[in-house]
Chains A and B, each alone.
Chain A
């Protein structure tokens, strides 16, 4: 089970859905849900490089279009991977399945792309099975749809 997981998504209702689904599927012990990439950026900046209190999440789910934020999910992943030292499993969770966006996300180091829908649980369950591979950086990029 993942100890700490972060969700960056502007839709507050989805925070509740995600938290409950993760709890029911025993995916994560603790979930921090943020509604803007700016807020997440501040946190990662603070944790870089040493993260003395071990607050950095083990896994990060980022929405593609985060309304009200200065930058989108792909830029957030790029920043975490290239400016804030990587160190976590990171990917996109979005209702979009645009191939160009998926390729962009892959290029900046996203490890997975989960397509958001009403029935998110089966995708999260599948992700849970693959998580160890992502944590060890062995699993290839995967789209959950």
Chain B
């Protein structure tokens, strides 16, 4: 323990009285007041009391800050996990979107194929019907013409009719074939 000189003691007491400045810190723990100096003993007690009070306050504040820091760190961990989860969800959404787009494209493609197939089937049907009609009319007129010739009947009207009808039928059949070729060409080009 350390005993201060009379001069130091007086100066310390004077400073405390006039300027309210007290010795503080662990240095206080090694200062000792003489047994016959109650004034300095009281002074040292006051210094220790003030020092302890200040330390206690600081300790409480530090603990509060420590507690807040701990909570912030915990909140940061939670935030980080939430951000990670959000990123995962975003990735899942992106993947789902890409999959939906692929399915949509495939569906569009299927629809297009279906439309084309239907279109071709329709054309095919028209062509068949048209050809059967052409062949039927042609055949019927020819048979009628042959019958008229073989029966020595008047063939003037049927001859003209057969000739006209055949010309019309040939023209129409070429027109149908031409239309089909045109549609096919246009379809292929649009693809």
Contact = CB atoms under 8 A, between A and B. Distances in A.
B171 interface: no
Nearest to B56: A24
Interface stretch (B64-72, B92-100, B133-141, B176-184): B64-72
B59 A24 contact: yes
B104 interface: no
B59 A21 contact: yes
A20 B29 contact: no
B68 to A, nearest CB: 10
B154 to A, nearest CB: 121
A30 B25 CA distance: 10
A23 B55 contact: yes
Contacts of A23: 26, 51, 55
Contacts of A29: 26, 29-30
A13 interface: yes
Nearest to A119: B63
A50 interface: no
A20 B24 CA distance: 13
Interface of A: 1, 13-14, 16-17, 20-21, 23-24, 26, 28-30, 118
Given A16-B58, A20-B58, A24-B56, 9 more contacts: A13-B62, A13-B66, A17-B62, A20-B56, A20-B59, A20-B62, A23-B51, A29-B26, A118-B67
Given A29-B29, A29-B30, A30-B26, A14 B66 contact: yes
Dominant SS among interface residues on chain B: helix
Give me the 4 closest cross-chain CB pairs, A-B, nearest first: A20-B59, A16-B62, A20-B55, A13-B66
Contacts of A14: 66
A30 to B, nearest CB: 6
Contacts of B69: 13
B52 interface: yes
14 contacts: A13-B66, A14-B66, A16-B58, A17-B62, A20-B58, A21-B59, A23-B26, A24-B55, A24-B59, A26-B29, A28-B26, A29-B26, A29-B29, A118-B66
B108 to A, nearest CB: 57
B49 to A, nearest CB: 12
B29 A17 contact: no
Contacts of B66: 13-14, 17, 118
Contacts of B65: 13
A2 to B, nearest CB: 11
B26 A118 contact: no
Contacts of A21: 59
Most chain A CB neighbours (cut-off 10 Å) among B52, B59, B66: B59
Interface string B91-114: 000000000000000000000000
A7 B53 CA distance: 23
Nearest to B30: A29
Interface string B105-148: 00000000000000000000000000000000000000000000
A23 B29 CA distance: 9
A17 B63 contact: yes
Contacts of A26: 29
Given A24-B52, A118-B67, A17 B30 contact: no
